[in-house]
Amino acid sequence: NAGVMQNPRHLVRRRGQEARLRCSPMKGHSHVYWYRQLPEEGLKFMVYLQKENIIDESGMPKERFSAEFPKEGPSILRIQQVVRGDSAAYFCASSPQGRGNQPQHFGDGTRLSIL
């Protein structure tokens, strides 16, 4: 499967715990984007990363959220001290180039539920 891989597909956490969401981009893609979808809403941009660099984090909440895309391994979206409002579907997308009118291709998402 050469598509964008996200894991886990479902994640349940209690308030105050940490959530780690992983994303492996499509083969040959070095640009990764994270989006969040709340119920009955569209996807909202969170962060754009290239290998070892955060390019645009304008959609990330100021606190508790962080993202990385190390030289080796998947991109990680980390949410510390989760709260009920963090319950959402988190989608990762990748593209071969950062610009140049290339579509972003999405994984199937991680559905995060906070108890």
Partner 1 sequence: DQQVKQNSPSLSVQEGRISILNCDYTNSMFDYFLWYKKYPAEGPTFLISISSIKDKNEDGRFTVFLNKSAKHLSLHIVPSQPGDSAVYFCAASDRSADKLIFGTGTRLQVFP
Residue 88's Cβ-side half-sphere holds a number of Cα atoms within 13 Å equal to 19
**Dihedral, CA atoms, 27, 30, 34, 40, nearest 10 degrees?**
-50
Q: Of 35 and 69, which has the nearer Cβ to partner 1?
A: 35
Tell me the three state secondary structure of residue 11.
Answer: strand
Adjacent-strand bridge partners of 47: 34
CA distance 102 to 86: 30
Least separation, in Å, of the C-beta of 110 and partner 1?
10
Tell me the three state secondary structure of residue 14.
Answer: coil
Binds partner 1 (CB under 8 A): choice among 8, 56, 61, 73: 56
Tell me the three state secondary structure of residue 71.
Answer: coil
Q: Print the binding letters for residues 64-103 with partner 1: x by CB under 8 A, - otherwise.
A: ---------------------------x-x-x--xx-x-x
Least separation, in Å, of the C-beta of 74 and partner 1?
16
Binds partner 1 (CB under 8 A): choice among 30, 66, 87, 104: 104
Q: Which residues are near partner 1 by CB under 8 A?
A: 4, 6, 31, 33, 35, 40-45, 48, 55-56, 58-59, 91, 93, 95, 98-99, 101, 103-109, 111
